[in-house]
Amino acid sequence: MTNEELRLKSCIEQIRAKTDFVPTIGIVLGSGLGEYGRKIFTEVEIPYSEIQGFPVSTVPGHAGRYLFGKVGEVPVVCMQGRVHSYEGYDMKDVVLPIRIMGELGAKMIILTNAAGGVNKDFAPGTLMVIEDQISSFVRSPLIGANPDSLGVRFPDMTEIYSQRMRKLIFEVGKENDIPLYSGVYLQFSGPQYETPAEIRMARALGADAVGMSTCVEAIAARHMGVELCGISCITNYAAGISGECLSHEEVQNTADEISEKFETLITGIVEKAGKLW
Ligand code: HPA
């Protein structure tokens, strides 16, 4: 067993000592989106700080706990707060919480984030269904000894965000009158926001949105065979588009404004997707 497998095993044992809850769907709530936790009929709450070996988030707006409970009839585990590599964590730490959700039983994970709109048509407040991603600017979480019990050495990433889930999300959007767009998400390391030149580069490479999370989590989830979908809340025009300066405050404010639509969408996705397993 690799060190990662040992650590994962230990975290699972600690969680299993507190609850035998088996989630079908995992949800990761991004910057400013943690309020969705209110919508979950929570049965058990485990602060990350109570799990030895678990990386604890330091970013304001990231509460830092797992919620186990139901959305409608569907058992979910929700990460209220994630860890980012810019906090100083190794990519293996960053993806550990995702691997834990997979090991606890999650068949599908919904990744959400706040992102800058690179596509000039994506005004702040736009909800973007992630269709594909570019992770080439950050270190792969799979570098190092391969945890064979989780997945293969060279995992396929052709359909990293599942097509059937993307289709399902657009159905939910339609049913609830929530306009949705589709696009490519690119992860930069952060924590500084990008320069206008970097945003022009991102656009030239085919990105529609940029952020500081998600891609590495998606890689780890696909590696272990968990189905994925992703939603970016475009909280601001990416650098250089509007000429305004970027701030975490703006990101959180837009995330707040968009939260009602976002919450309806997530609940709709969980209820519909929950029937697939
Ligand atoms: N860049 C990177 N990350 C972000 C942004 C951005 O413009 N907005 C929200 N997260």
Ligand 1: residue of 251, 254, 256, 257 to mutate (most ligand atoms within 8 A of CB) is 251
What's the CA gap between 41 and 169, in Å, rounded? 22
Whole-angstrom Cα Rg for the chain? 17
The alpha carbon of residue 208 and the mean position of all alpha carbons in its chain are separated, in whole angstroms, by: 17
What's the CA gap between 168 and 186, in Å, rounded? 23
Count H helices and E strands in the chain, helices first: 6, 9
Specify the pLDDT at position 208.
98
**3-class secondary structure, 14:** helix
Ligand 1 neighbourhood includes 36 CB (under 6 angstroms): no
Cα(89) to ligand 1 centroid in Å equals 19
Ligand 1 atom with the smallest distance to the CA of 194 is 1
What is the 3-state secondary structure of 58-110? CCCCCCCEEEEEEECCEEEEEEECCCCHHHCCCHHHHHHHHHHHHHHCCCEEE
Specify the pLDDT at position 129.
98
Query: How confident is the model over 63-108, as pLDDT tens digits?
Result: 689 999 999 999 999 999 888 999 999 999 999 999 999 999 999 9
The number of beta carbons lying within 10 Å of the beta carbon of residue 231 is 24
Q: Record the pTM.
A: 0.96
State which amino acid sits at residue 265. L
Specify the pLDDT at position 35.
86
Ligand 1 neighbourhood includes 246 CB (under 6 angstroms): yes
Cα(238) to ligand 1 centroid in Å equals 7
Query: How confident is the model over 216-241, as pLDDT tens digits?
Result: 999 999 999 999 999 999 999 999 99
Residues making up the chain, counted from first to last: 277
What's the CA gap between 161 and 167, in Å, rounded? 11
Cα(137) to ligand 1 centroid in Å equals 15
Ligand 1: residue of 193, 194, 231, 245 to mutate (most ligand atoms within 8 A of CB) is 193
What's the CA gap between 147 and 100, in Å, rounded? 13
The residues, any chain, with a CB within 8 Å of residue 214's CB and separated by 6 or more, are 30, 111, 113, 130, 133, 185, 187, 230, 232
What's the CA gap between 90 and 220, in Å, rounded? 13
Ligand 1 neighbourhood includes 238 CB (under 6 angstroms): yes
| pLDDT by 10s per residue, the chain, length 277 | 999 999 999 999 999 999 999 999 999 998 888 889 889 999 999 999 899 998 876 666 556 899 999 999 999 999 998 889 999 999 999 999 999 999 999 999 999 999 999 999 999 999 999 999 999 999 999 999 999 999 999 999 999 999 999 999 999 999 999 999 999 999 999 999 999 999 999 999 999 999 999 999 999 999 999 999 999 999 999 999 998 999 999 899 999 899 999 999 999 999 999 999 9
Cα(247) to ligand 1 centroid in Å equals 9
Cα(79) to ligand 1 centroid in Å equals 20
What's the CA gap between 143 and 40, in Å, rounded? 35
Catalytic residues: 31, 62, 84, 86-87, 114, 212-213, 236, 248
What's the CA gap between 31 and 5, in Å, rounded? 28
Ligand 1 neighbourhood includes 212 CB (under 6 angstroms): yes
What's the CA gap between 131 and 122, in Å, rounded? 15
